[in-house]
Amino acid sequence: MRGAVLILTVCLFAFFTSLYCNQQDSIPEGDLLVLTVATEESDGFRRFMRSSRHFNYTVKVLGKGEEWKGGDYMSPPGGGQKVRLLKLALEEITEDNKIILFVDSYDVIFSSGPKELLKKFQQTRHKVVFSSETLVWPDRHLEDKHPHVREGKRFLGAGGFIGYAPNLKEMLSDWSGEDNDSDQLFYTKIYINPDKRKSINITLDSKCRLFQNLHGALDEVVLKFEDGRVRARNVLYDTLPVVIHGNGPTKLQINYLGNYIPNVWTFETGCTICNEDLRPLSGLQESEYPVVVIGVFIQQPTPFLTVFFERLLNLKYPKNRLKLFIYNQEPHHDEQVRKFLEGHESEYQGVKLIGPVEDIDPVTSRNIAFDVCRDDIDCEYFFSIDADVVLKNEDALKILIELNKPFIAPMMTKPGRLWTNFWGALSADGYYARSEDYVDIVQGRRVGLWNVPYVSHIFLVKADVLRTDLKDINPFESASLDSDMAFCANLRNKGVFMFVTNMQTFGRVLSTENYETKHLHNDLWQIFENPLDWEERYIHKNYSKVLSDNLIETPCPDVFWFPVFTDVACNHFVEEMEHFGQWSGGANTDPRIQGGYENVPTIDIHMNQVEYDKHWRKFLLEYVAPVTEKMFPGYQTTAQFDLAFVVRYKPDEQPSLRPHHDASTFTINIALNQVGIDYQGGGCRFLRYNCSITAPRKGWALMHPGRLTHYHEGLPTVEGVRYIAVSFVDP
Ligand SMILES: *[C@@H]1O[C@H](CO)[C@@H](O)[C@H](O)[C@H]1NC(C)=O
Ligand SMILES: *[C@@H]1O[C@H](CO)[C@@H](O)[C@H](O)[C@H]1NC(C)=O
Ligand SMILES: *[C@@H]1O[C@H](CO)[C@@H](O)[C@H](O)[C@H]1NC(C)=O
Ligand SMILES: *[C@@H]1O[C@H](CO)[C@@H](O)[C@H](O)[C@H]1NC(C)=O
Ligand SMILES: *[C@@H]1O[C@H](CO)[C@@H](O)[C@H](O)[C@H]1NC(C)=O
């Protein structure tokens, strides 16, 4: 009983406070109608509609499907079409209490809801409120005619206003302009006319309480994160505007803000749009998968191209729904491309190859590639990949399709660097600039979908974009810009949002700098430039277990045996040496070594003869030194070596090597081919222990002390050819 009394008291208290504290009844949200003009359903329009749905605005879209004749911000003035459409729409509105918010859509985002908007409108105590601007436009001669404001912006912006329907009707009654006339000039002339201003009861939102126009105001606006939502804050007037408008040349800034406002990404929720409007593929039969044209572009000598094609092959997607377009400008890569096609061309729905002999420039080739998709009515997507992209994620194509954006790129990185295939912002001259969130995105502290001004190397674009926004032009062509920048500029100008996603790890981009093509297997030389790719290609899959799981055998006392090279590495070294071909004669006199005399000569080629000595030392440091230091505790090696070479044993040449000490602190001996398959016999015997290793394993290294204890001999190879890579390390 006492509880009920308490509740009653509280209710009465609440009732009376509301009665006395609100001097004015608040406007019901149902009285508000948002009118906007959008002739196309662009990405910007979808963004606008999402933010209005988020706050439950009631929106009516005018001009859908109409041809746009109102000009654009690149060729001002314009916008008269919007006035005509608004005037027409107002004629249908009969209720006098209706409040109309008229805003642009492609470059507008709501950052708060109708309730706050209406409250702030009410607080202006006017019947029509226009957004304000710092700059007078399009006729600066009208500057002096504008009434002074005590604080804030003095000029009118036509991109956003709110008012009672009857007042707006009165304001528009004078309109008789053309679609390409300036709406802003029209409204300005009404505003600076004192009589009209008074009778229509117009004021400006000078301090950006309702509307924030970004043009001329970039320094005033910052993101404000608060409890699962994001707003823009005007730091000049300390206000939180409701409508954010990227007017004029501030499209990139509204795109940036739109990556957060109103709740697109927040600290509390992470990305909230990442699971919206998806196009799931999981339920589809393979034959129902959308047809994709994959464009592969080889425009420079590129390391690990064979691996690139292996990955392309392993992409998880039905191959009979894929068409390949391959552009190869490099004669050097002809062979690799040919081998790939020989093996796999028939698996794909179709293949078009443009090789170096056709002499087509890269810019043209990219548009020809687009044509392959444009001209095929079944083509739904174009997937562009440059050959220096290391696409590690086999699901990448599916993932990107499912995200269902007109244009999307997976974020690609370079190991250990802040480099990626996107730019977060542009400098004034259109080049790279770092956005405030760039590092957080690159390092994965912010994960989601990001609308950015530039991407390169790899992207997925819907065929519709190619057939509409980018028809009739070669979007890569420009008199002044590089083709990648020209392409992005065209997409920006067409209002196509370039999304980049870091929701998954997709892969990286190779360094193509300093890639020399004078050897047979040039990738062997990539240990410095692309160490990760070098390791993946050449270091044994179980090498990591050597240290972590003690995957190390001791076949003879103090002889350690562990996996280090892949089969590919072994093959490449053998083929490289045979390709070089200058095997020593096996005589005692050897001008290649200090002193010119070799006591126990082998038939071999030194690493420095093929310019591999620096690389070999790097290999020893990275992959052998850790094992040495583990097995010989307290000993630290600098991996200096006097000699490192590949030896060839052959029955009719040099089948074996007599007992000897190595001139080393320790010796590494890596088997480069396989006993029983490539040769018979062979192996190594340590005389002091009467212990032989007769079944060397391809890619495994033997490591043993050199000078003192491990007197040893090379056992005879009786058939075939045996290769080993030997290094005398000291110290
Ligand atoms: C919008 O309306 C829905 C249901 O009509 C409601 O659940 C939601 O809370 C509303 N959102 C806001 C921001 O008012
Ligand atoms: C506006 O369009 C009319 C034709 O409708 C044309 O004569 C006029 O030159 C255009 N004005 C501008 C500023 O483009
Ligand atoms: C505008 O209308 C309000 C009442 O709605 C009135 O108080 C105010 O004086 C009017 N302002 C002008 C300039 O007419
Ligand atoms: C790596 O080791 C596992 C057993 O631990 C073995 O099954 C596998 O074949 C090894 N991989 C290679 C490439 O030798
Ligand atoms: C060395 O080992 C082999 C077999 O492993 C054996 O036949 C031979 O007698 C041994 N020699 C010596 C000197 O112990």
pLDDT in tens, 160-169: 999 999 999 9
* pLDDT band for position 66 (cuts 50, 70, 90): confident
pLDDT tens by residue, 262-315: 999 999 999 999 999 999 999 999 999 999 999 999 999 999 999 999 999 999
Look at residue 16 and tell me whether its pLDDT is greater than 70. no
Is residue 56 within 6 Å of ligand 1 at its C-beta? yes
180 CB less than 6 Å from ligand 2? yes
Task: Quickly state the pLDDT bin for 23 (edges 50, 70, 90).
Answer: low
For residue 539, report the distance from its CA to the centre of ligand 4, in Å. Answer: 13
User: Which atom of ligand 1 approaches the CA of 56 most closely?
Assistant: 1
For ligand 4, say whether the CB of 542 is within 6 Å of any of its atoms. yes
Residues with catalytic function: 722
% residues pLDDT > 70 (the chain) = 96
Q: Lowest-pLDDT range, 57-71, 393-407, 459-473, 515-529? A: 57-71
Query: How remote is the CA of residue 186 from the centroid of ligand 2, in Å?
Result: 16
Domain with CATH 2.60.120.620 in the chain: 522-729
Report which bound ligand comes closest to the CA of 78: 2
Other CB atoms within 10 A of residue 427 CB? 10
- 99-108, 171-180, 589-598: segment of lowest average pLDDT: 589-598
pLDDT for 390 equals 98
Give the Cα separation of 566 and 698 in Å (integer): 8
**How many CA atoms, within 13 angstroms, populate the side-chain half-sphere of residue 200?**
27
Q: Where in the chain is the domain with CATH 3.90.550.10?
A: 29-270, 286-509
pLDDT digits 0-9 by tens, 415-435 = 989 999 999 999 988 999 999
Ligand 1 proximity of 705 Cβ (cutoff 6 Å): no
Whether 711 is in the pocket of ligand 1, judged by its Cβ within 6 Å, is no
**572 alpha carbon – ligand 4 mean position (Å):** 21
Mean pLDDT confidence for 361-384: 97
Atom of ligand 4 nearest to the CA of 549: 5
Looking at the CA of residue 180, tell me the nearest atom of ligand 2. 1
How far apart are the CA of 722 and the centre of ligand 4, in A? 23
> How confident is residue 587, by pLDDT bands cut at 50, 70 and 90?
confident
Q: Which residues contact 608 (CB under 8 A, 6 or more apart)?
A: 644
CA of 31 to the centre of ligand 3 (A): 20
Task: For the chain, give the mean pLDDT.
Answer: 93
Please write the tens of the pLDDT for every residue from 710-722: 888 999 999 999 9
Q: Is residue 568 within 6 Å of ligand 4 at its C-beta?
A: no
Q: pTM (2 decimals)? A: 0.92
pLDDT at 408 exceeding the cut of 70:
yes
Out of 187-196, 335-344, 624-633, least confident range? 624-633
Q: What is the CATH number of domain 286-509?
A: 3.90.550.10
- Is it the case that residue 651 has pLDDT exceeding 50? yes
pLDDT tens digits, 186-241: 999 999 999 999 999 999 999 999 999 999 999 999 999 999 999 999 999 999 99
Cβ–Cβ < 8 Å for 397, 501: no
* CATH node for 522-729: 2.60.120.620
Q: Specify the residue with its C-alpha closest to ligand 4, atom 4.
A: 542
Distance 126 CA to ligand 3 centre (A): 6
Q: Which CATH class is domain 29-270?
A: alpha beta
Nearest atom (ligand 1) to Cα of 113: 13
pLDDT score, position 419: 96
- For the Cβ of 178 lying below 6 angstroms from any atom of ligand 2, the answer is yes
Backbone angles phi, psi at 348, to 5 degrees: -95, 160
642: number of Cβ within 10 Å: 13
Ligand whose nearest atom lies closest to the CA of 113:
1
For the CA of 110, the nearest ligand: 1
3-state helix, strand, coil in the chain (%, to 5): 30, 25, 40
Tokens read off for 286: 């393979």
Coil, strand or helix at 407: strand
- Is the pLDDT higher at 708 or at 470? 470
Pocket of ligand 3 (CB under 6 A): 125-127, 198, 201
349 lines ligand 4 (CB under 6 A): no
Stretch 504-524: mean pLDDT, rounded?
A: 95
Ligand 1 atom 13: residue of nearest CA: 55
pLDDT, residue 14, reads 52
Is the pLDDT assigned to residue 74 strictly greater than 50?
no
pLDDT attached to residue 9: 52
Phi, psi dihedral angles at 342 (to 5 degrees): -55, -45
**Cα 699 to ligand 4 centre (Å):** 12
pLDDT at residue 77, rounded to an integer: 63
pLDDT value at residue 72: 65
As a whole number of angstroms, the distance between CA 136 and CA 683 comes to: 88
Ligand 2 pocket check for 72: Cβ under 6 Å: no
- Could you say which ligand is closest to the alpha carbon of residue 545? 4
